[in-house]
């Protein structure tokens, strides 16, 4: 019995030893935040002078430089709710797919805590934002603490702790340094843009560090209760889950015959651009009296005579399905799911190159052809690009076709046909909406089809995105398990 007690004491002793320094840091961060909170609430004179002095000085230095402001806004967006929410959501879904429910719960709880603490403390302190001479940053709500600084500290820190085991030991210090740099730069931009005081950012960092420490400490207690040894946080929260939290194994040949493949893609891109330019120039300037000219005249005029307020609204929202934000959002959701389920980078590369090629071919051919919009009222107003080919239609076609190509051969479930249907319904709906709104001719739609068929065909031939299926790669979720996936997701949050 004494031997058993000694065995049980060892993990507890190791845990206590390893936790003393961490607990001291957590308590220090909490005490520091409390002191700063009191000073801000009491409007302590020296802190007030420092905060307002730095805000005014930085505004004078930054506001005259437009490119610098653009860079600062781009960096500060990394701490915004949209980016943070996407990162945490993708992380949670990926962990649930990999059956790492405890880590998923940790991310959810840690992120939810930050979402609760930020507005609560802002309402409690009720501090006004800086008043600078030249406003250059957008904001809403109270000032203390900085939501961007708090959110980035908690979210990036939690993600680092969860996925650190997937990294090789020699890369972990670099990952920690990169994460710390991102968090620091986000906080710096909030002050530089004149939307927060220095004390707002410092308070957010202290609060974020304290909350992150508390949740990490609770997770380590959870491990101890399950009989797992305490490990330094430098190894991550769950070292045993290294294989499951790794996005995908290294692939020796991401592109088959890399040099030849790259050359084929470049040459193919140029040839496709030439084909688009030739067809676009013909239907735009040399097709008078042909079927194409009749079609490009009759269809826009027919839509123009059948417009109603209800159809205008419907076409507006359906048209949005093909805009940049929607396409990017769908891509950023689909690609991480592919990694989580099939553990391969090549399908992700296929989707990424599909969208990059579509965008570059669209911009280049639109600039070269320079086709005017249909001679009817353009409901979306003046556009920065020309009519041929349609960027909305081409982007929708490329994205949903690429998704169908990836999903269809990887499962035998009935729902694979849903993606085939979406590859038809989504672009057709966008095409009808764009033509209804007077933004494109029917031959612009044809140009989008030509772009999609040629570029995706070339990429499929060069990349072979589904080669791993032929080699026997199985998904993290087997096809017979799909019917019980919802139950597994529910149970994952209740793992002891």
Each residue of 264-277: pLDDT tens digit?
A: 999 999 999 999 99
Within 8 A by CB and 6+ apart from 230, the residues are 11, 14, 15, 18, 19, 220, 223, 224
pLDDT of residue 180: 92
Global pTM exceeds 0.85: no
Question: In sequence order, what are the residues at sequence separation of 6 or more whose Cβ sits closer than 8 angstroms to the Cβ of residue 36?
Answer: 199, 202, 203, 206
pLDDT-flagged residues of the chain (< 70):
1-30, 133, 137-138, 230, 233, 249-253, 471-496
How far apart CA 69 and CA 61 sit, in angstroms, is 11
Task: Using alpha carbons, list the distances in angstroms from residue 93 to 87, 229, 240, 301.
Answer: 10, 27, 19, 47
8-state DSSP, 135: -
φ/ψ of 403, rounded to 5, equals -60, -45
325 is catalytic: no
Q: Which of 14, 52, 65, 196 is catalytic?
A: 196
Can 148 be counted among the known catalytic residues? yes
- The pLDDT value given to residue 245: 78
**pLDDT at residue 250, as a whole number:** 62
| pLDDT for the residue numbered 449 | 94
pLDDT for 193 equals: 84
The catalytically annotated residue of 14, 52, 65, 148 is 148
């Amino acid at each position: 019995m004494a031997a058993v007690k000694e065995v049980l004491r060892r993990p507890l002793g190791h845990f206590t030893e390893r936790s003393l320094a961490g607990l001291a840091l957590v308590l220090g961060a909490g005490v520091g935040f409390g002191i700063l909170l009191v000073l801000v609430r009491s409007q302590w004179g020296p802190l007030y002078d420092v905060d307002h002095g730095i805000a005014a000085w930085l505004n004078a230095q930054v506001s005259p430089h437009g490119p610098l402001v653009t860079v600062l806004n781009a960096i500060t967006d990394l701490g915004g709710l949209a980016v943070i929410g996407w990162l945490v959501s993708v992380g949670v879904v990926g962990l649930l797919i990999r059956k790492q429910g405890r880590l998923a719960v940790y991310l959810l709880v840690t992120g939810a805590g930050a979402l609760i603490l930020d507005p609560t403390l802002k309402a409690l302190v009720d501090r006004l934002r800086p008043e600078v001479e030249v406003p250059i940053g957008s904001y809403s709500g109270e000032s203390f603490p900085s939501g961007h600084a708090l959110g980035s500290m908690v979210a990036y820190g939690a993600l680092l702790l969860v996925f650190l085991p997937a990294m090789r030991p020699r890369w972990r210090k670099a990952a920690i340094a990169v994460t710390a740099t991102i968090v620091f730069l986000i906080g710096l931009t909030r002050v530089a843009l004149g939307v927060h005081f220095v004390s707002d950012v410092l308070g957010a960092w202290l609060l974020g560090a304290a909350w992150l420490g508390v949740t990490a400490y609770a997770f380590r207690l959870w491990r101890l209760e399950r009989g797992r040894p305490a490990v330094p946080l430098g190894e991550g929260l769950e070292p045993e889950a290294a294989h499951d939290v790794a996005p995908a194994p290294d692939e020796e040949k991401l592109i088959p015959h890399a040099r030849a493949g790259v050359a084929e893609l470049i040459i193919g891109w140029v040839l496709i651009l030439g084909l688009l330019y030739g067809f676009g120039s013909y239907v735009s300037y040399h097709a008078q009296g042909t079927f194409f000219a009749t079609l490009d005249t009759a269809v826009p005029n027919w839509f123009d005579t059948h417009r109603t307020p209800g159809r205008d609204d419907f076409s507006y929202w359906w048209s949005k399905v093909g805009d940049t934000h929607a396409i990017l959002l769908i891509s950023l959701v689909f690609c991480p799911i592919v990694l989580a389920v099939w553990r391969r980078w090549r399908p992700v590369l296929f989707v990424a190159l599909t969208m990059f090629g579509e965008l570059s071919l669209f911009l280049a051919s639109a600039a070269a052809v320079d086709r005017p919009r249909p001679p009817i009222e353009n409901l979306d107003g003046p556009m920065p690009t020309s009519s041929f080919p349609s960027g909305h239609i081409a982007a929708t076609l490329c994205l949903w076709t690429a998704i169908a190509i990836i999903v269809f051969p990887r499962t035998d479930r009935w729902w694979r046909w849903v993606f085939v249907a979406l590859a038809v319904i989504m672009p057709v709906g966008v095409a009808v909406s764009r033509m209804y709104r007077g933004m494109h001719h029917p031959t612009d739609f044809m140009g989008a089809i030509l772009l999609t068929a040629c570029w995706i065909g070339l990429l499929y031939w060069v990349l072979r995105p589904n080669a791993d299926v032929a080699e026997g790669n199985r998904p993290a979720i087997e096809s017979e398990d799909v019917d019980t996936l919802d139950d597994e997701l529910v149970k994952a949050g209740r793992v002891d």
